[in-house]
Amino acid sequence: MALQLSFEEKYKVIVLRDTTYAGLFYVAVKTTGIFCRPGCTARTPKAKNVLFYDTTHEAIINGYRPCKVCRPQEEVGATPAYIQQILDELEANPYQRLKDWDLRQRGVEPSQIRRWFKKHHNMTFQAYQRLYRINGAFTKISNGESITHTAYDIGFESLSGFNDSFKSTFDHAPSQEKGKSVIHLIRFTTPIGPMFAGATSSGVCLTEFTDRPMLETEFKDLKKRLNAVILPGENDHLKQLQAELAEYFAGQRKAFTVPLHTPGSAFSQSVWTLLQGIPYGTTRTYKEQAERLGKPKAIRAVGRANGLNKIAILIPCHRVLGSNGELVGYGGGMGRKKWLLDHEKQHS
């Protein structure tokens, strides 16, 4: 859907190379005949040479060809098919170990997959595989299985090697893991950018865009509050979440039913509950939210609690505006906030 911004606002986005607007509109350059995403690292064109389009289709039918740097026709942050195939293989058999030779047998250059994982998961592919195996080990040990048997079952050649790998992941020995829970973490794409989602056995505890500045802080806070470790992997809540978000972005869902797990103070919990009561397609101000809580002077506190919300879209903090109705305070970026509000208004 179209993002309602002026020419000047859109041009400022491309000057700043703001990646949070990627996929929301496209930039065509008259002098080169090329169109790009906002945030493209190619040289910024002069304003007089720029046209803006809402879709790649519009740019193409007007004679522009896609940029080879930012590849605007590809879904923002999408996982390449050859990597997705390997991820599916790992999920089916998390204890296998794919080495560089195995990757080459599948027609994949190891350095290529290594760069992708470093960019999108901040770790190498080998480290990702190790975490997948450790995830299974954590579950086995938590269920009372022998540490020694678990180590050999998941492919470690020695108990000391398993202990070292486990300690490097969890900062403690496998014999000390009792009482901790697991937050399963996935990365997936949406029309307005890739997201991370996390879920415990109780429900979804995180949905955030991968370029959110405070993401690492949120991970640390969740681990502390839930006495948990974060590991790559799916669970039923995450599968339900992806299905419901796909329906939301298609304009077919206005409310979510997937269970949520929202650790926080009593005040924050009350603010997040109130957020979920804002009807789809409507907005409120921070002042109105404070008044509905029965604490009309707590406007700043309500704003802070909004900022602490770790479950974007499902707990719709994007529906809260400043006192004059202006767009303020959204961790995913103002472009995404405006897109979400326009999307809901269109489908309400």
d(CA 31, CA 269): 53
User: In CATH terms, are 7-66 and 79-179 the same topology?
Assistant: no
What is the mean pLDDT of the segment spanning 192-206? 92
Distances 123 to 91, 118, 128, 167, 218 between C-alpha atoms, Å? 18, 5, 7, 17, 18
pLDDT surpassing 70 at residue 164: no
Catalytic residue among 36, 40, 67, 317, which? 317
For the chain, the domains span 7-66, 79-179, 191-348
Q: Is 79-179 in CATH node 1.10.10.60?
A: yes
Specify the pLDDT at position 318.
Answer: 94
- Among 109-118, 219-228, 307-316, the range of highest mean pLDDT: 307-316
Identify the band that residue 174 occupies on the pLDDT scale cut at 50, 70 and 90: low
Antiparallel, parallel or unpaired: β 228-232 and 204-209:
unpaired
pLDDT surpassing 50 at residue 291: yes
Specify the pLDDT at position 162.
Answer: 60
Name the more confident of 158 and 309: 309
Please tell me the CATH code under which domain 7-66 is placed: 3.40.10.10
Please tell me the CATH code under which domain 191-348 is placed: 1.10.10.10
- Among 41-45, 140-144, 243-247, the range of highest mean pLDDT: 243-247
Q: Is 67 a catalytic residue?
A: no
What is the mean pLDDT of the segment spanning 155-184? 62
CA 24 to chain centre: 17
Specify the pLDDT at position 131.
Answer: 73
pLDDT surpassing 50 at residue 1: no
pLDDT surpassing 50 at residue 120: yes
Residue 228 in tokens: 């948990």
